[in-house]
C-alpha cells in the first residue's frame, strides 16, 4: 500500500532470482494504483489489486495473496525485501518445512513455509490491524498447532531496504518531518499494542472465517477485487471498546507525552480515538507538540547524559528498516 518506490526496486531484484514460479503482488488500495508497466517484464509476476481498503492491513492482505498463490511453498516478502542471490528455497524446504525471519530488522516478518502449514493455522490473524506482532502471532500459532520446530531463516537470506517507520504505516516514502515521524511512531505503538492484546484475548485458527473477496469489473487487465461487505472478521463489541481505549492511551501518550491517567480524564473531543487506524491530529495537537511537549522533554534531556552514571541501560542502536 503506497510503497511503489520500494516495490519497483525489489520487484526488479526478485525478477533476477531464478527459484520461484510466480510472484504475486497485491496492491492494497494504494492511492495511486500500481501499474503493470511499472514492474519488470517478468511473466512470473501476477499483479492483483484490492479496492476500497482505507488502511493497511498486513494480515488480510497476505491471507488474500496466499489464497491466490498456486505453489506448494510460500515465500512471504514485504515490498522492501528480496531474497539474496545465493538464497535457495528448495534447499531450505528439504531441510525443514517452516522457516521464519528473526530480529528487529525488516527480515523479521518474512517467512518460507509449506503452504499446507500456513493453511493449518488459518493463515495470519485477521483480527490484527495495521502493523506489528502479526509475525510473532503467526509463529506462535504454527509452533502450537503443528508441533514442528520453526527454524530461523539464515542471516542474510532476505535482504531489506532501509526506511523509516512512516513508510511502514502507509504514510508514503517522502521526506519525513520530526512531527510526522512522531505521529508514525505513536501509530505504530498503538497498533502493536492493539495486536498484542488481540492475540492475548482471542484465538485465531483454521475454524475462523477469513474475509471473502469478490472480483469486480475493471478496465485494466489487472484483476480487481473488493472485500464482501460484512465478511471482515470483527471482535466482540466489548473487547473492541476496551482495545480502542488502550490504543487511544498509547497513541496520545507517545505522541504528546500525556500520562495515561490524564488521558482517561481528558475529553474524547480533545484527544479522540482513531477512526479505522487514522488518528485525527488537529492544529492544536501540533501546537502542543511543538511547545508543551518540547518543554516536557527538558528533564529527559537533562537526565540523558547521566543515564549511564545512574545505572540506566543503554539500548542497542536499532537498525532502521
The site for other proteins (CB under 8 A) is made up of 133, 136-137, 140-141, 143-144, 196-197, 199-203, 205, 207, 238, 253-254, 257-262, 265-266, 296-297, 299-300, 303-304, 306-307, 309-313
CA–CA distance, 28 with 60 (Å, rounded to integer): 10
When the beta carbons of 79 and 258 are compared against other proteins, the nearer one is 258
Q: How far is the CB of 313 from other proteins (least distance, A)?
A: 6
- Closest contact distance (angstroms) between CB of 136 and other proteins is 7
What sign results for the dihedral spanned by CA atoms 47, 50, 54, 56? negative
Q: How far apart are the first and last CA of the chain?
A: 17
- Give yes or no for a contact between 195 and 132, defined as CB atoms under 8 angstroms apart: yes
What is the C-alpha to C-alpha distance for residues 66 and 99, in angstroms, rounded to an integer?
16
Cβ nearer to other proteins, comparing 55 with 196: 196
Beta-carbon count within 10 A of 21 CB: 10
Least distance CB 300 / other proteins (angstroms): 5
- Closest Cα to residue 116, out of 83, 96, 146? 146
By DSSP bridging, strand 98-100 and strand 151-152 are parallel
CB 202 to other proteins: min, Å: 7
The distance of closest approach from Cβ of residue 66 to other proteins in the complex, given in angstroms and rounded to an integer, is 22
Tell me which residue has cell 466482540.
Answer: 236
Query: Is 226 or 242 the residue whose CB approaches other proteins more closely?
Result: 242
Q: Three cell numbers at 239?
A: 473487547
Cβ distance to other proteins smaller for residue 178 or 309 = 309
Nearer CB in complex with other proteins: 178/200 = 200
Closer Cβ to other proteins, 4 or 183, answer by number: 183
Task: Tell the smallest beta-carbon distance from residue 267 to other proteins (Å).
Answer: 8
Please tell me the distance from the alpha carbon of residue 203 to that of residue 133, in angstroms, as a whole number: 14
Amino acid at each position: 500500500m503506497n510503497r511503489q518506490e520500494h516495490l519497483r526496486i525489489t520487484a526488479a531484484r526478485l525478477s533476477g532470482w531464478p527459484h520461484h514460479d510466480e510472484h504475486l503482488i497485491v496492491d492494497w488500495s494504494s492511492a495511486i494504483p500500481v501499474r503493470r508497466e511499472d514492474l519488470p517484464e517478468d511473466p512470473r509476476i501476477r499483479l492483483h489489486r484490492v479496492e476500497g481498503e482505507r488502511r493497511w492491513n498486513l494480515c488480510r492482505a497476505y491471507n488474500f495473496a496466499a489464497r491466490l498463490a498456486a505453489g506448494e511453498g510460500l515465500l512471504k516478502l514485504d515490498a522492501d525485501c528480496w531474497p539474496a542471490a545465493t538464497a535457495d528455497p528448495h534447499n531450505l524446504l528439504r531441510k525443514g518445512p517452516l522457516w521464519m525471519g528473526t530480529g528487529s530488522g525488516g527480515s523479521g516478518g518474512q517467512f518460507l513455509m509449506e503452504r499446507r502449514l500456513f493453511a493449518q493455522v488459518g493463515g495470519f490473524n485477521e483480527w490484527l490491524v495495521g502493523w506489528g506482532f502479526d509475525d510473532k502471532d503467526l509463529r506462535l500459532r504454527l509452533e502450537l498447532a503443528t508441533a514442528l520446530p520453526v527454524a530461523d531463516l539464515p542471516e542474510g537470506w532476505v535482504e531489506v531496504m532501509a526506511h523509516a517507520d512512516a513508510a511502514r504505516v502507509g504514510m508514503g516514502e517522502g521526506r519525513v518531518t520530526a512531527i510526522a515521524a512522531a505521529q508514525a511512531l505513536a501509530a505504530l505503538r498503538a497498533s502493536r499494542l492493539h495486536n498484542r492484546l488481540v492475540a492475548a484475548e482471542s484465538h485465531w485458527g483454521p475454524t475462523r472465517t477469513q474475509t471473502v473477496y469478490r472480483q469486480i469489473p475493471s478496465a485494466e487487465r489487472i484483476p480487481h477485487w473488493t472485500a464482501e461487505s460484512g465478511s471482515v472478521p470483527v471482535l466482540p463489541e466489548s473487547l473492541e471498546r476496551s482495545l480502542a481505549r488502550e490504543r487511544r492511551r498509547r497513541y496520545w501518550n507517545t505522541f504528546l507525552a500525556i500520562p495515561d491517567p490524564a488521558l482517561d480524564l481528558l475529553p474524547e473531543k480533545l484527544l479522540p480515538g482513531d477512526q479505522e487506524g487514522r488518528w485525527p491530529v488537529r492544529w492544536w495537537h501540533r501546537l502542543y507538540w511543538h511547545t508543551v511537549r518540547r518543554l516536557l522533554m527538558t528533564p529527559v534531556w537533562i537526565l540523558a547524559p547521566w543515564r549511564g552514571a545512574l545505572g540506566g541501560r543503554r539500548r542497542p542502536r536499532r537498525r532502521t528498516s
